[in-house]
Amino acid sequence: MSGSIDVERLAARLEELARIGAIEGTHGCSRLAATDEDRAARDLVVDWMRALELEVTVDAIGNVFGTRAGRTDGPPVVTGSHVDTVARGGRYDGNLGVVAGLEVLEAWNATGVTTERPVAVGVFTNEEGVRFQPDMMGSGVHQGFFELADCLAARDADGLTLGDELARIGYAGDAEPFTPHAYVELHIEQGPVLEEAGVTIGAVTSVQGISWTELLLDGQANHAGTTPMRLRRDAGLVAAEIAAGARRIALEVGADQVATVGVMELVPGAVNVIPGSARLTVDLRNTDDGALREAEERLLELARDLAEGEGVALTERSLVRLSPVSFDPGTIDLVERAARALGHDVLRMPSGAGHDAQMFAPNCPTAMIFVPSRDGISHDPSEFTEPKELRAGVDVLHDVLRELAG
């Protein structure tokens, strides 16, 4: 830990970021990827980076890196996360990892610490995948998992492409991707595990598999009053039955399986019109890839049967499919050792959420540090983590980065 870590300064920066796209009357914010709010948050972080005399670079998918020189050149140790949020998000998801990385570098600037290797703070484009799919897009392109051209061509609901939007907000860069010496990310847990265990630090062992599918249903809009039940081709009914079926499949597959229908749009969406079409998304996740595949197959089989039974056409589109990823044992050990040396309890645990770190894991020693989420809530404005827990997370990050950077 460093005496120069200032958790009030860190909290003030989280507050300043949270004011960008603030949701009235809450502590949360709305900052979808490549919107004006995302630009404002990026600009603020770049200002902080410049004030710390970091070398600021932007790559072709809009990832921003602030790099502090080491005594030698060569691949940097990277930390960081994302500043884009879900549509109604909290202030800690992603933002904590960026601000904590800057806090560590600021403490080193203040105390004249030098490191063998450079250390960079990354701000990765479109981690959330809400406006443009897939998620973890910037880190995925950076680490060669997603194709740059495909991601720049991704379109939002209004048909705007990410490439055009990055150019519009001034974050279409040309910095070359690179393989870090190591990657460590501080993030809120976003679930109930640490809080229920009464433990402050999570040493994350892996990220579970993620499967997102969009289902389009095309039936027949008709009059709600004059159309006999036997003549209906009700896309809304099929959408609702799929959502109920997703929950049943998750419970039947059991263990870590989770299923979420987060988007369900019925058209025309009028009280007296049978929905002619529907768009829904299904988010399936599991730590076990085989079980996840079983859940995916059962969900699609159910959707096809339900659609056929109602005479509704079904179009399936996979939005993202990521297998479970394990982090580096040596780096996980380093996280646990650093946390225990600081007097914190540590729990080894998988991550239920996707993270930029999972894109680095195949290419360099990678791990994550979790701090608790109050009531296990995240992806909601009420997301909260105690200042003393923020402090613990930054202290562990500091010591881990110091060791990795030499």
The residues that touch ligand HGY, with contacts defined as CB under 6 A, are 127-129, 135, 353-354
Q: Which of 94, 191, 219, 275 forms a contact with Mn ion (CB under 5 A)?
A: 94
In the bound complex, what is the minimum distance in angstroms from residue 212's beta carbon to ligand HGY? 8
In the bound complex, what is the minimum distance in angstroms from residue 29's beta carbon to ligand HGY? 15
129 binds, among Mn ion, ligand HGY, none (CB under 5 to 8 A by kind): ligand HGY
Phi, psi of 326 (to 5 degrees): -100, 145
Stretch that binds Mn ion, among 49-57, 64-72, 92-100, 322-330 (CB under 5 A): 92-100
Answer for the pair 73, 149: CB distance below 8 angstroms, yes or no: no
> Which CB atom, from 241 or from 283, has the smaller least distance to ligand HGY?
283
In the bound complex, what is the minimum distance in angstroms from residue 70's beta carbon to ligand HGY? 31
Nearest to 147 by CA among 165, 158, 163, 166: 163
> Which CB atom, from 52 or from 291, has the smaller least distance to ligand HGY?
291
> Which CB atom, from 31 or from 402, has the smaller least distance to Mn ion?
31
Burial 331-356 (b: 16+ CB within 10 A, else e): bbebbbbbbeebebebbebbbbbbbb
93 sits near Mn ion (criterion: CB under 5 A): yes
- Rounded to whole angstroms, how far apart are CA atoms 359 and 249? 28
Answer for the pair 187, 327: CB distance below 8 angstroms, yes or no: no
76 binds, among Mn ion, ligand HGY, none (CB under 5 to 8 A by kind): none
> Which CB atom, from 81 or from 115, has the smaller least distance to ligand HGY?
81
The token duo for 372 is 């608790």
- Sequence length of the chain is 406
> Which CB atom, from 128 or from 241, has the smaller least distance to ligand HGY?
128
Stretch that binds Mn ion, among 65-73, 89-97, 267-275, 283-291 (CB under 5 A): 89-97
- Rounded to whole angstroms, how far apart are CA atoms 259 and 249? 8
The two counts, helices (H) then strands (E), for the chain are: 12, 15
59 binds, among Mn ion, ligand HGY, none (CB under 5 to 8 A by kind): none
